[in-house]
Homo-oligomer: A and B are copies of this chain.
Amino acid sequence: MAVCCEIDNLKGRREVILDDMNSWINFSSCLENHLLLSSPIYRRQLFLIRSFGGYCCKAHMEGQGAASGKITALEADAETVIRKITPVLDPRRHKGQAGKIAVIGGCREYTGAPYFAAISALKIGADLSHVFCTKDASPVIKGYSPELIVHPVLEESYSVRDDEKASVAKRVLAEVSKWMERFDCLVVGPGLGRDPFLLDCVSDIMKHARKSNIPTVIDGDGLFLVTSNLDLVKGYHLAVLTPNVNEYKRLIEKALNTEVNEDDAPEQLLSLAKCIGGVTILRKGNSDLVSDGVTVNKVSNFGSPRRCGGQGDILSGCVAVFSSWARSSNKEMDDKSASSPMMLGCIAGSSLLRRAASLAFADKKRATLTSDIIECLGKSLEDMIPAEQG
């Protein structure tokens, strides 16, 4: 495998292309010894490069050297990440082993978002996809697709009397909790709405998921909830936040008490992720940036200029599945230190969505809708990792 690395140090830029991984490891060890030993961030990058075969988490450090360097994110080698973590399609495996995902979302107003997230998970290869939503949303979401398992268990304030709230909240938690251990990942937020009682119930569900070590991807109104109570995810390494420009702004204001700084975007994202105790944050934008508080990666392969609503929901479903696969992959390799399955999941999900959006746009142009992009997820994945090889 050819490995390309750009390194800026005090003496200027060097571009080095090495022929194989061993050369890279030798080279990186040399660098580690002589150049950048004092930077934990750079050491972490090197570690990840070695752990995952040099295809992600490249570092780009400018200015005054690594110890005090300004960090810009380099493009992750997302295709190699996807190839590495996507499981082999082995006929000996049985239902559930390729992933069981649950989306917490869907209320009286929003039904499309949880559907997009849940169906995207199936379309890239998960075996089972559940949705936990309100009673009003349930028949509509079921109606979109018989492939989903939809649980009408959430409640909004308008349907619950004040004196019932405690018992209803308890029942909601119990109904979701009995399923919790079966899931490889939760997606919290698509189409959740902002009803205070519902959000209280979802807080309880998130706390329970955290106790059970269930990875959790948080998007949409889930980010509204988390921004108002950062302790819900603080220090939880299996949490991923996927803010868009406005959600990111609110997060920065709340957590760092400052404004978004586009000039130092990777560094600010790194600070934010670190401040929330090492959660992984996928900042969506023209280029997506991902940080877990230790490293920063960029994904910017061409997607689509269409910004139709719902693409974030696809992303959240894909990140959930890819993160689960990365976690399984780490376990199978018994590589407890490889870590950052959530980072890998974000890189893979971001890149796949962009590729699918690009395919859909090539066909539908201005008329491209989210459903068109979902229909391109399979082909996009197939182009990178043919199922027959698996």
Contacts and interface: CB of A to CB of B under 8 A. Distances in A.
A109 B139 contact: no
A322 interface: no
A368 B123 CA distance: 7
B366 A110 contact: no
Interface of chain A: mostly helix, strand, loop or mixed: loop
A387 interface: yes
Contact of A96 (B86, B307, B369, B388): B307
Contact of A378 (B93, B311, B366): B366
Contact of A146 (B115, B136, B285): B115
B306 A89 contact: yes
A367 B123 contact: yes
A178 to B, nearest CB: 11
Given A95-B312, A127-B309, A366-B382, 19 more contacts: A90-B305, A91-B305, A92-B286, A94-B245, A95-B307, A98-B307, A116-B146, A125-B306, A127-B308, A139-B139, A145-B371, A146-B371, A147-B309, A147-B310, A364-B378, A365-B387, A366-B378, A366-B387, A367-B381
26 contacts: A86-B366, A89-B306, A89-B366, A91-B305, A92-B286, A95-B309, A95-B312, A111-B142, A111-B150, A112-B142, A122-B308, A124-B366, A140-B142, A143-B143, A144-B146, A146-B310, A146-B370, A147-B308, A147-B309, A305-B387, A305-B390, A365-B381, A365-B388, A366-B378, A367-B382, A368-B378
A108 interface: yes
**How many monomers of this chain does the complex have?**
2
Nearest to A313: B146
A97 interface: yes
A128 B309 contact: yes
A326 B386 CA distance: 40
A125 B366 contact: yes
B112 A149 contact: yes
A274 interface: no
A181 to B, nearest CB: 14
Interface in A159-195: none
Size category, A interface: 35 or more
Q: Which 5 A-B pairs have the closest CB atoms?
A: A367-B378, A112-B146, A89-B305, A365-B387, A125-B366
Interface in A270-310: 285-286, 303, 305-310
A91 B347 CA distance: 19
Contacts of A151: 109
A377 interface: yes
Contact of A110 (B90, B149, B365): B149
A39 interface: no
B150 A109 contact: yes
Given A146-B115, A147-B370, A378-B365, A286 B139 contact: no
A124 B89 contact: no
Contacts of A368: 378
A360 to B, nearest CB: 11
